[in-house]
Amino acid sequence: MAHDTQPLSNAQTRDIEALLHPYTNAITHRQVGAHLIESGEGVYVRDDQGRRFIEGMAGLWCCGLGFGDQELIEAAREQLGRLPYYHLFGGRTHEPAIELAEKIKELYPIPMARVFYGSSGSEANETQIKLIWYMNNGLGRPEKKKIIARKKGYHGVTLVSGSMTGLPMAHNSFNLPFDFVKHVTCPHYWREGRPGEAEAEFVARLAQELDDLIVAEGPETVAAYIAEPVMGAGGVIVPAAGYFEAIAPVLQKHDVLFVDDEVICGFGRTGNWFGAETFKMQATSASMAKQLTGGYVPLSAVALNAEMADAIEAETGRHPVFGHGFTYGGHPLGCAVGVKALEIYQRRDMVGHVRKVAPLFQEKLRSFGDHPLVGEARGAGLMGALELSPDRESAAMFAQPGKVGAKLQAELLNHGIIARAMGDALGLCPPMIITEAEIEELFAPFEACLDAAYAWAKAEGHLGEHA
């Protein structure tokens, strides 16, 4: 919603003077002001002007059950009345933490032995690396500490998780990434495939690249590889066919652990309980957050297989305590809401619902793939993206990346749709409760918005020689 042609409201002025916003240009923000969201119901939210929007990103990929779910609200109310806070330090526990961990172990497609809690996906992925280092020290492998991630991957913003994130915006002026984190090619065939290279050849090349990197660094120094099933903030990038099957033997050959980052894909988003099942990932541990509580309470979890858990638990015997944990890790409110969210996912068969409505979502999304502004339409389950390009055939990028994507995002907002421009990829990830009628409503203004963005891009010279 453009605010630059009208004076800022009192709330917008107060916001500017009180808050530093994440993933926001603070200079621009002072000019345009914040967009105040006041309430939500189902797949919709309302702002302070009473305007209603379809929340096409489920907040930040997390409100799978939409807004205002009374069962989640009541579960929170009950837990606050019973035990509003407690911790898991020093061997203490509570029933919601136990029950939720049991459910996570039950649902994840590969056997897991232990669950460790945090408050965010960043904390979960930071914990992954600390636990892997701790384990390798205990196993007498102190040199095995390097981490391999992927360009355009997103794993958080703390120091190590931010290093693993393969996006410049998470590194600029933060002195990241750390040099023990290495990045390999993003498995995006449309963008990264070479001229004349078949998809299978592309996948084989990336597997060889990974093998070559591990050998060059020294397998005795490489501890883990981390990947999202579908790369979220990098632009909803679906891996090339057969990618994870191709890299699994490489990791196994060099005894490199495989961290599955399910923070966005977990709990039904891709049409299975976890993206690992959808994309045949053979992980040794997994990170999860966001839809774990339907986004209603901050909570994250790390699931470890038996080999990792046994080694970590054995190593704790060499020290007075296991010196890692968070004040709010395993918070009873978050765990209770998480238990209820998983119960709802099962009882309402949300996985089945995603499988039922996803074909229409993907059909509508891909129907814009031949628009002159769209380079590629892609997605999986109830997530997808339109990547904008001045030339589809060459997968060209705009001379000024991000401006055309931002324009399309603004056009959609003016038509009642909240989407997210990640550079020039326009992402969608609606609440999983969305109906087929609401999917029709979500996509109804896309043609007009794409046309308007295309006309603007042409007038502003963003199409260059392709105009």
Question: Of 239, 256, 257, 232, which is closest to residue 165 (Cα–Cα)?
Answer: 232
User: What percentage of the chain reaches a pLDDT higher than 90?
Assistant: 98
- Taking every pair of Cα atoms in the chain, the longest distance, rounded to a whole number of angstroms, is 68
Q: Where are the domains of the chain?
A: 36-68+350-466, 71-347
On the question of pLDDT at 3 being above 60, the answer is no
On the question of pLDDT at 156 being above 70, the answer is yes
Query: For residue 88, what are its two tokens?
Result: 């898991």
Quote the pLDDT of residue 465: 79
pLDDT band at 428 (very low <50, low <70, confident <90, very high): very high
Quote the pLDDT of residue 120: 98
pLDDT band at 6 (very low <50, low <70, confident <90, very high): confident
Report pLDDT digits (tens) over 230-249: 999 999 999 999 999 999 99
Quote the pLDDT of residue 1: 43
Quote the pLDDT of residue 467: 66
Interatomic CA distance for residues 389 and 376, integer angstroms = 8
Quote the pLDDT of residue 466: 74
Report pLDDT digits (tens) over 251-272: 999 999 999 999 999 999 999 9
What is the second-level CATH architecture of the domain 71-347? 3-Layer(aba) Sandwich (3.40)
Report pLDDT digits (tens) over 26-83: 999 999 999 999 999 999 999 999 999 999 999 999 999 999 999 999 999 999 999 9
Contact 220, 239 (CB under 8 A): no
Query: For residue 293, what are its two tokens?
Result: 């509580």
Contact 97, 117 (CB under 8 A): yes
Domains 36-68+350-466 and 71-347 share a fold: no
Query: Can you identify the CATH homologous superfamily of domain 36-68+350-466?
Result: Aspartate Aminotransferase, domain 1 (3.90.1150.10)
Question: Of 290, 286, 414, 420, which is closest to residue 5 (Cα–Cα)?
Answer: 414
Average pLDDT over residues 441-456: 98
Interatomic CA distance for residues 281 and 407, integer angstroms = 36
On the question of pLDDT at 324 being above 50, the answer is yes
On the question of pLDDT at 92 being above 60, the answer is yes
The alpha carbon torsion through 322, 328, 333, 334 (nearest 10 deg) reads: -80
111's enclosing H/E stretch is none
Compute the mean pLDDT over every residue in the chain, rounded to the nearest whole number: 97
Contact 110, 305 (CB under 8 A): yes
Average pLDDT over residues 416-425: 98
Interatomic CA distance for residues 65 and 59, integer angstroms = 11
